[in-house]
Amino acid sequence: MGSWNWFSKSGFNSSSTAEQVTEGIDATRLTAIVTGATSGIGKETARMLALRGANVIMLSRDLKNGLKTKELILQENPEAKLEVMEMDLASIKSITSFAQSFNASQQPLNILINNAGILACPFQLSKDGIELQFATNHLGHFLLTKLLMDKLTTTARKTGIEGRIINVSSIAHRKYSKEDSLLDLEIINNPTKYWHFLLCNYFYNLISMHFMNTHVAGLISSSLN
Ligand SMILES: NC(=O)c1ccc[n+]([C@@H]2O[C@H](COP(=O)([O-])OP(=O)(O)OC[C@H]3O[C@@H](n4cnc5c(N)ncnc54)[C@H](OP(=O)(O)O)[C@@H]3O)[C@@H](O)[C@H]2O)c1
């Protein structure tokens, strides 16, 4: 049995399905935002939260793509409470505009899942002139979290339900070699060394927890590896 198949204390491992892990959970009182909800882990997360009754806001940088994903989830679960909103993590303007519009709404926010990510792509700059992976995976999520903090805190206080901020990373961050610089563009854009960014995700979680004082605000922030 490889290391990926070890059972954790929870009794689940990498072959456990999302249905198995969430069985019996009632999420009907919860509202969650999922970034990168159009494919992969984000799509499955949105599907599963909705299956357990949560109200899910699916963030997508392409509205059409988001609506297509929503339709697919609704085909399987017509009761799903899903809303698609547009936001590009590689654009400060887009993040600010989404956060303003969400914060102005009457919707609460219990869970923020920072899932979207790009990995080991060729060197490119974001609309704001920042290296694209750093802008998308870290700065974008940091800004989004910061702008939604009041909403998360207020919801936790009003409902008495501890809020959650989840930063999706990977156990692959452990492959990081101390000889490699985290700030070297030759390394962070190298597909064979993608775990540097996963290590950054891990640090990002620690840093954001510290700066945003989440424990004081009735929130738990964790890195999902
Ligand atoms: N897959 C794995 O084996 C694995 C393992 C460990 C950790 N992870 C982590 O899990 C997370 C999700 O991975 P995945 O494999 O599910 O990825 P994926 O299928 O490639 O999906 C990535 C999502 O991020 C979105 N995205 C990319 N750039 C964006 C931007 N600028 N603004 C907003 N959204 C953007 C994509 O939207 P579009 O549809 O518009 O492209 C897509 O919905 C990542 O953080 C990754 O590091 C994945």
What pLDDT digit, counting tens, does each position of 2-16 carry?
A: 445 566 778 888 889
Closest ligand 1 atom, CA of 171?
Answer: 6
Q: What dihedral angle (degrees, nearest 10) is formed by the CA atoms of 135, 136, 138, 141?
A: 120
Indicate the DSSP class of residue 163.
E
pLDDT at residue 2, as a whole number: 47
Helix axes 40-51, 63-76, angle to 10 degrees: 40
pLDDT tens digits, 18-58: 999 999 999 999 999 999 999 999 999 999 999 999 999 99
Indicate the DSSP class of residue 16.
-
CA of 43 to the centre of ligand 1 (A): 9
CA of 117 to the centre of ligand 1 (A): 4
Look at ligand 1, atom 36, and give the residue with the nearest C-alpha.
36
180-185: long-range pairs with CB below 8 Å, 24+:
185/123, 185/131
Q: Which residues are catalytic?
A: 194
